[in-house]
Amino acid sequence: MAVEPPPSNHHGDPSTPGGLGYFHLRLLGPAASLFLLRSDRLYSLSFSRRRGYRLRLIASPARRRRRCRRRDLLLSTSGCVLRLTHCFSSPDAVRVNGLPLHGGGGPVDLAVGDEVSLLLLGSRYGFVAEKFVACERGDKVPGSCEEVLVLRAESLRKRLRAISESQDPLSFLRDSHCAHAGVKKAREGGGLLCQENPVNSVPQDNLRQQECNSDQNRLEHQPDVTNEDTVQLPQRSKRCSNVELKGCSNGNVEQHHTEGRYSDGSTFFLNRLTSIRPEMRAEQRSGVTLPQLLHPIGSLLRVFIATFTSDISWFLDYCKIPQYLPVTIACHNKDRCWSANSENRTAAPFENHPNLLLVYPRFPEVIAFGKDRKNQGVACHHPKLIVLQREDSMRVIISSANLAPRQWHLITNTVWWQDFPRRTSPDYSGLFSAFEGPKSDFAAQLVSFIGSLINEVPSQAYWINEIAKYDFEGAGGYLVASVPGLYMPSPCYLESNYCLSEKQIIHTKSSHRIFLGSVQTSVVGLSHRFHLPSDAGSQLKALSVFLGKCRGNMHGTTEVILKRNTNIPADANAVSVLVADLDKFCEEDSVQLGFLPREVAKWVSPLSDTGFFKFSGFIYPREALEAAFGATNTKVQLLMYVSKGPEFSQISGLIQDEHLPSLCSLVACLKRSPGLWRLEEVLSHFKWPETLETDFMYSASSIGTSINPQFIAHFASATGKRSNHDVDSEESDPEWGGWTAGHELKKPSISLLFPTIERVKSAACGIQLSRYLLSLPEKTWQRLRSTGIFHDAIPHPHDRIGHPMHVKVAQRRFRSRLGGHSFGWTYCGSHNFSPAAWGQPLRPTSKANPTDATRGAPSGSRLHICNYELGIILIAPPPGMSKEGNGRRHGIDGISLPFVIPAPQYKYSDRPATPLAMRQAMAEACIPQSDLSEETDEDIPDEDDEHVVELSDCCPEEKEEEKIYAETLWGQVDSSQSQGKDS
């Protein structure tokens, strides 16, 4: 075939012998990826349905050994001539510009613009020789875009070689100061670079497309490699895949990636997909990058991150995190999060970043199968939160993206953020504020959630104090958090007359106290105190008498007295629980029921001793009697109320570092409405007119195994959904008009958006990228397919079609009769549509403890939550109800959803992308299941099909360590009382 000279407008001439440069090969097809071939190397190009395109550097010209395998193309670039050789037996297997090659496979020289196609596995694949870029400057303009591209590609090759030769590759990757001098030199010519910056767009927008293949995320050693220079290109190590792309230029080269972005918190944005070229994006500023969110890095004081999966090395390099910056990352680890040993729940694995700490939040025993931590349970640490502290502001970011490159570069995710100004002085009252309609409780929700993650890591407790320094009153939305546990509704504040204080019992009137919240805890030590043969009978009789005299309140509880025990050597923080006749209280005329648990007493006592807070307690009398008589093995509940102490207003001046862990434990333990109950708490403040509803939809990448009409009805009811004929009812019963499973079966309330298998199969990256991203169990689909609630999730805007979505977005929209404007609410965050995330409402079973009826929980209802989750609700209030005190309204029409609405309902032949459907599609495409990496940076929580939580299964029992602690205290209390009598 005649070789045509390249066009004169290209830099360099590939026919010129001895020149050094790079050939650009553009793949044909939807991926349109770009390969860069150095002009003095020998490469092998192959394609398979299992691995996709694979380009391997065989050897340098000096030591090349030609070992051509079947179905491989050899591309020689010796002397700056692109030469093709192949080993196919069929004369029609390889075509150049549509014409078959003859003559036994070559060699054939290619010119710029030539198109090569290969017949493989029954389909044609190929590439175009797009251009040649020479490295010599000659008469080129110094610092031109293409020259810098070549320098960056050469730097990437050198860096890959340095990594392979390094004795400690991980440390090498963590070093953010190892960029090549050549690239640095090119970077300094920023004023001469093209304004549209193709230098950045080529490597990032095209090379990163190779990450679509699961086997192309790492370097591989091939058996036909003949020397140390051999690497696989453009495949890159997952950990180093972004180091050169983002770390070798700054300033003008990456201005559109590192410039700051502003948000007032009234809407959310999408991440910028690097696989979409800038000129193809629907809106240039519609996407945000992680470096933009962190910009400027130099002003950060500290960073807090919560994520499910993470690639920490990538994050440190990609965002150029300074080595000195304090960074706390709370993340998921199945073994560490279930460990009973707190030392197993932290790690500091990066020597070059000594101030970076990994925290693995604890899963409580109450959510474990069979109440046994060893059996674990369905649980995930699943939030996506970033908190950036600066001297003058604190930025809170809530996303659906984990801290992993594919989630930020290849997959659509939502990003909400808002900056909050610094206060002139810390406000600790805001950390305990309750939801009161328009008044924001953002600070209290944020500090409570972070506190639950770092509660057992004292070195991180300073975050609670830092949050108090910023003003969150102008928050654009309401936080919605889920924390694993078993919850029952909190009764309203109960009048109490006695509170805990150092070395004495203080009698105080409730009217002079400002209530801050309640803590659900227990009394330990009853089994020891009332089962001793010596005086068990007399103690039980006295206890019965006192409890009989106690005045019960409307919730069936009675007040007890909390007393500091400073004379017990085993625990200086010990707190006794006393039962007495409170009308004429005398400490000698009382019966000690037991003690506060050690883990509670260790923060209650210091905070009480300092005068920052006051604590009072209530128990269920019948429950205490049953436990004392041995009729039950469950813990005796103690409801502890917290109010401001005499020194509360002086906290900012009196608080010391040693107080911070106790303060952190308090905010973490205070009862707040989680999951579905929080959703209801926020949205029930507004009256949503059912007859004006136009849309109610939820798009999630994972739909729970146990989803059924009952759960869907619970979710709809929590959002304010009511049956139409009862909307205007004047009935006082709060359940009147509520949305039930019966209503749900008759008329589904919500549209669930989930991609069909055909949509996933036609994606730019195929099924591989979605396999560990999407989860809709086949059983759930078969159970709900006849309900008509499933709709196809079509990405929006149009340039995102073909790219997977990982969003968790819900919206309920209404249209006003007057003016036709829309209002409603929108949720975005980490909650998938599952009971594990939002909570499973539970009702008492026939085996439930009979005292449940007296505990004040409406109908005995409880909420069982498995996951840590965090999201934000943005509200556009109904006409006449402004969310803002100044009357400013959020417009729901200003929120651009990441999917097409109205979403098309599934046709009869449609099938969602369930794991079964994706496995079958992969089998049809001859993609072996075993060839897909089992490691994933996606976040599909495991759920057990057969696991059903019963209320009776969730009653906690006293643990062995609690029994040992209580017995030790009892022994020293009894000894001290005996010595007092003898004296």
Neighbours of 910 (CB within 10 A): 16
State the virtual CA torsion across 647, 653, 656, 657 in degrees, nearest 10: 130
* Structural tokens at position 556: 């069936």
Nearest one of 415, 276, 238 to 765, comparing CA atoms: 276
Specify burial of residue 586 (Cβ count, 10 A radius: 0-12, 13-18, 19+): exposed
Q: Is the pLDDT of residue 255 over 50?
A: no
Residue indicated by tokens 């070195």: 459
> What is the spatial distance between Cα 837 and Cα 825, in angstroms, rounded to a whole number?
19
> What is the spatial distance between Cα 67 and Cα 226, in angstroms, rounded to a whole number?
10
Domain count, the chain: 4
Neighbours of 531 (CB within 10 A): 13
Q: Are residues 378 and 509 in the same domain?
A: no
Q: What is the mean pLDDT of the chain?
A: 76
Q: What is residue 513's predicted lDDT score, i.e. its pLDDT? A: 67
Q: What is residue 228's predicted lDDT score, i.e. its pLDDT? A: 27
Residue 163 maps to a domain: no
Amino acid at 275: S
DSSP state of 734: T
Q: Are residues 643 and 574 in the same domain?
A: yes
Q: Provide the total of helices (H) and of strands (E) in the chain, helices listed first.
A: 27, 38
Catalytic residue check, 821: no
Q: Is the pLDDT of residue 668 over 80?
A: yes
Residue indicated by tokens 């999966």: 309
CA angle 882, 888, 891 (to 5 degrees): 85
Nearest one of 381, 316, 319, 385 to 354, comparing CA atoms: 316
Handedness of CA 55, 56, 62, 63 (dihedral sign): negative
Residue 190 maps to a domain: no
> What is the spatial distance between Cα 200 and Cα 292, in angstroms, rounded to a whole number?
15
Long-range CB contacts (< 8 A, 24+ apart) of 65-69? 65/224, 65/226, 66/42, 67/224, 68/44, 69/44, 69/224
DSSP state of 952: G
Domain that holds residue 652: 502-670
> What is the spatial distance between Cα 803 and Cα 411, in angstroms, rounded to a whole number?
6
* Structural tokens at position 245: 């792309």
* Cα atoms in the 13 Å half-sphere on the side-chain side of 68: 17
Give per-residue pLDDT as tens, 486-533: 998 876 666 777 888 655 566 655 545 688 999 999 999 887 777 665
Q: Are residues 681 and 662 in the same domain?
A: no
Q: Are residues 534 and 455 in the same domain?
A: no
> What is the spatial distance between Cα 857 and Cα 684, in angstroms, rounded to a whole number?
19
Q: What is residue 712's predicted lDDT score, i.e. its pLDDT? A: 95
Q: Are residues 476 and 328 in the same domain?
A: yes
- Cβ neighbours of residue 210 under 8 Å, at least 6 residues apart? 33, 53, 216, 234, 235, 236
Q: What is residue 133's predicted lDDT score, i.e. its pLDDT? A: 74
Q: Is the pLDDT of residue 356 over 50?
A: yes
Amino acid at 375: N
The one catalytic residue among 295, 528, 803, 806: 806
Q: Are residues 554 and 684 in the same domain?
A: no
Give DSSP secondary structure letters for 35-57: EEEETT-EEEEEEETTTEEEEEE
Residue 854 maps to a domain: no
Residue 56 maps to a domain: yes
Q: What is residue 27's predicted lDDT score, i.e. its pLDDT? A: 78
Q: Are residues 530 and 614 in the same domain?
A: yes
Among the residue ranges 296-305, 335-344, 602-611, 708-717, the one predicted with the least confidence is 335-344
Q: Cα–Cα distances in Å, from 905 out to 432, 710, 744, 799, 909?
A: 44, 22, 17, 22, 11
pTM over 0.75: no
Do 809 and 696 touch, CB atoms closer than 8 A? Answer: no
Q: What is residue 959's predicted lDDT score, i.e. its pLDDT? A: 77
Give per-residue pLDDT as tens, 914-939: 999 999 998 887 776 654 444 455 55
Q: Are residues 663 and 697 in the same domain?
A: no
Q: Is the pLDDT of residue 654 over 50?
A: yes
Q: Is the pLDDT of residue 738 over 80?
A: no
Specify burial of residue 779 (Cβ count, 10 A radius: 0-12, 13-18, 19+): middle
Do 389 and 255 touch, CB atoms closer than 8 A? Answer: no
- Cβ neighbours of residue 138 under 8 Å, at least 6 residues apart? none
Nearest one of 278, 209, 267 to 35, comparing CA atoms: 209
The one catalytic residue among 180, 382, 528, 864: 382
Residue 966 maps to a domain: no
* Structural tokens at position 88: 């196919």
Residue 291 maps to a domain: yes
Q: Are residues 664 and 539 in the same domain?
A: yes
Q: Are residues 908 and 787 in the same domain?
A: yes
Q: Cα–Cα distances in Å, from 833 out to 827, 921, 940?
A: 12, 25, 12
Specify the pairing of strand 862-865 against strand 485-487.
antiparallel
Give per-residue pLDDT as tens, 839-849: 999 876 544 44
Q: Is 829 left (phi over 0), alpha (psi -120 to 50) or beta?
A: left
- Cβ neighbours of residue 968 under 8 Å, at least 6 residues apart? 570, 571
H/E segment holding residue 526: helix 526-529
Three-state SS for 924?
Answer: helix
Residue 794 maps to a domain: yes
Residue 642 maps to a domain: yes
Q: What is residue 157's predicted lDDT score, i.e. its pLDDT? A: 63
Confidence class for position 695, pLDDT limits 50, 70, 90 = very high
* Structural tokens at position 441: 């409780």
Higher pLDDT pick, 388 / 548: 388
The residues pairing with 912 across neighbouring beta strands, listed in sequence order, are: 756
Residue indicated by tokens 């939305």: 477
> What is the spatial distance between Cα 376 and Cα 361, in angstroms, rounded to a whole number?
14
* Cα atoms in the 13 Å half-sphere on the side-chain side of 736: 10
Residue indicated by tokens 């109205």: 902
Confidence class for position 222, pLDDT limits 50, 70, 90 = very low
Q: Are residues 653 and 686 in the same domain?
A: no
Nearest one of 155, 147, 352 to 244, comparing CA atoms: 155
- Supply the Cα-derived Rg of the chain in whole angstroms: 33
Provide the CATH number for the domain around residue 682: 3.30.870.10
Confidence class for position 248, pLDDT limits 50, 70, 90 = very low
Specify burial of residue 357 (Cβ count, 10 A radius: 0-12, 13-18, 19+): buried
Higher pLDDT pick, 225 / 625: 625
| Average pLDDT of the residues in 68-79 | 62
At residue 134, φ and ψ (nearest 5 deg) are: -90, 150
- Cβ neighbours of residue 802 under 8 Å, at least 6 residues apart? 30, 762, 763, 764, 795
Q: Are residues 641 and 746 in the same domain?
A: no
Do 781 and 914 touch, CB atoms closer than 8 A? Answer: yes
Residue at which a domain ends, from 104, 134, 164: 134
Specify the pairing of strand 300-306 against strand 327-330.
parallel
Q: What is residue 165's predicted lDDT score, i.e. its pLDDT? A: 63
Nearest one of 752, 785, 755, 746 to 773, comparing CA atoms: 755
Three-state SS for 305?
Answer: strand
Three-state SS for 105?
Answer: coil
Do 894 and 874 touch, CB atoms closer than 8 A? Answer: no
Residue at which a domain ends, from 648, 670, 692: 670
Do 705 and 779 touch, CB atoms closer than 8 A? Answer: yes
Catalytic residue check, 382: yes
DSSP state of 315: H
Residue indicated by tokens 């309640």: 518
Amino acid at 591: V
- Cβ neighbours of residue 295 under 8 Å, at least 6 residues apart? 258, 259, 260, 261
Residue at which a domain ends, from 440, 455, 487: 487
Residue indicated by tokens 């090759």: 157
| Average pLDDT of the residues in 430-436 | 86
Residue ranges for the known binding site for substrate are 384, 808
> What is the spatial distance between Cα 17 and Cα 139, in angstroms, rounded to a whole number?
18
Q: What is residue 773's predicted lDDT score, i.e. its pLDDT? A: 92
Nearest one of 461, 431, 519 to 656, comparing CA atoms: 461
Higher pLDDT pick, 72 / 455: 455
* Structural tokens at position 978: 């005996």
Q: Is the pLDDT of residue 238 over 50?
A: no
Confidence class for position 188, pLDDT limits 50, 70, 90 = very low
> What is the spatial distance between Cα 415 and Cα 840, in angstroms, rounded to a whole number?
27
> What is the spatial distance between Cα 484 and Cα 363, in angstroms, rounded to a whole number?
7
Q: How far is CA 812 from the centre of its chain?
A: 23
Confidence class for position 436, pLDDT limits 50, 70, 90 = confident
